Structure formats: C-alpha cells, structure tokens
Structure 1
Amino acid sequence: MPESPPTPPEELSSDFVELLEDCSAEELRAIERYADALAEYREREARLAEDDQDDVADRPEELPDDVPTRATLTIKEINGNRYYYWQWREGDKVTSKYRGPVNPDE
C-alpha cells in the first residue's frame, strides 16, 4: 500500500480532483465501477459510429438509403419477367426491396 496519496492525472480538472478527495473509499470504488462501465459504453458507441461511417463510405451509389450495405442484388423471375431485388437477412427473416426490371441487353 502506498504511504502517500497518489498524484492525480493532469487530464483531470482541479475541481474534479477536489470532489474525489472528499469521497470515501466506498464512494471511490463505486465511481471506479461507474467510470469503467461508462468508458466501455463510450468506446463501443465510438466504434459503432466509426462502423456506420465506414458503411456510408463503402455504400454503392445505386443502393437506396433504406437498404443496408450488407444487402445483395438478386434476380427473381415472375410470370416470365425478370426483376432485380435487394435482399438481406433480418434475424430469421429475409427482406426484399424491388430495384427494377432486368435489362436483357446487360
């Protein structure tokens, strides 16, 4: 155990350090648990926001805004006519969104 109090990090304001110094050991342990949980939450949110930005950057121009980037373009034949559909999985369900007819010249 240290014999003298620790030196506070420079990143902390003096007002915050004073508030911490007035806390009991039990309160400081509670603050520690909360701070760890809050840091994990904020890091996760930042990763998700970064992933969302990557999805936007990688998003094909022809992909509609309401279709996720993981969707694939498929062709369905209905009554002898062929159509493009965006398809993606949402849990156990496969969702489709109409794109347009298949051009036979492609």
Structure 2
Amino acid sequence: MSDPPQYILEGLEKQSPETLREIAQIATEMAEKKERQLEAELEDEKVADRPKDLDRDDAPISATLTTKKINGNQYYYWQWREGEKIKSEYIRPVDAK
C-alpha cells in the first residue's frame, strides 16, 4: 500500500474524530464503487474477447470465461464463486483444431 499524498494527510490532521469517521465511511464507499466499476470493465472486455462458438447458455450461473495456461497450452474454463470457494469447469483448448 502506498502512502497517501501529504496534502491529504495535512487536511485530515485538522479534522475531528467524528469527521474522520465520516471521511473513512465515504472513502470506503468510494473504493467499493471504483472496484465494482473496474470489475464491470474487465467483464466487458472478457465478453468482447469471447470466442463466438462458446455458448453462454452452457455456462454455470454467474460464471465468467477465463483461460489457464497448463504445460505451455492454454485452455478455456468457466469460473465462478460458490460462497468462499472458486469453482472452475473445463471447456476446451484455446486453439481448438
């Protein structure tokens, strides 16, 4: 984690404990919103890159298309979360011949 800019720290030092707690809540909400936006952008990129022959209807609910490199070869997998566990389902090699 990098240190916040000095001008932000100087401004924070002048605040009351109550205001600092409010700022912390706002900062947490802003960080979560930015993370959701980044995840949505990454998902949009994955959808755009998805091969046309991979039918989304065959995928588990909430799965995203991922690739894994194993022994120098790349393979497509559906990947999703079930509770705390990440599940994967093999689809086919990336270079299907």
Question: TM-score if structure 2 supplies the norm length?
Answer: 0.51
Equivalent residue, structure 2, for 1:17:
9
- 1:53 and 1:25 mapped to 2: Cα distance? 42
Pairing partner for 1:51 from 36, 43, 46: 43
- The amino acid across from 1:48 in the alignment is A
Q: Percent identity?
A: 27
Instruction: Count residues with an aligned counterpart.
Output: 57
Partner of 1:37: 29
Distance 2:34 2:19 in 1: 22
CA distance in 1, matches of 2:48, 2:41: 11
Change in CA separation of 1:10 and 1:47 when aligned onto 2, cut-off 3 Å: closer
Q: When the two structures are superposed, what TM-score results if normalisation uses the length of structure 1?
A: 0.47
CA RMSD of aligned residues (A): 2.4
The 1:57–1:10 alpha-carbon spacing in structure 2 relative to 1, beyond 3 Å, is closer
Shift in CA distance, 48/10, structure 1 to aligned 2, threshold 3 Å = closer
In structure 2, list runs of 5 or more residues that go unmatched.
58-97
The whole-number CA distance in structure 1 between the counterparts of 2:10 and 2:2 is 13
Higher relative contact order (CA 8 A, sep 6+): 2
Q: Which moved more, 1:23-32 or 1:9-18?
A: 9-18
Higher Rg: 1
Deviating runs (4+, > 4 A) in structure 1?
Answer: none
**Structure 1 residues 10, 40: CA separation in 2 closer, same or farther (over 3 Å shift)?**
closer
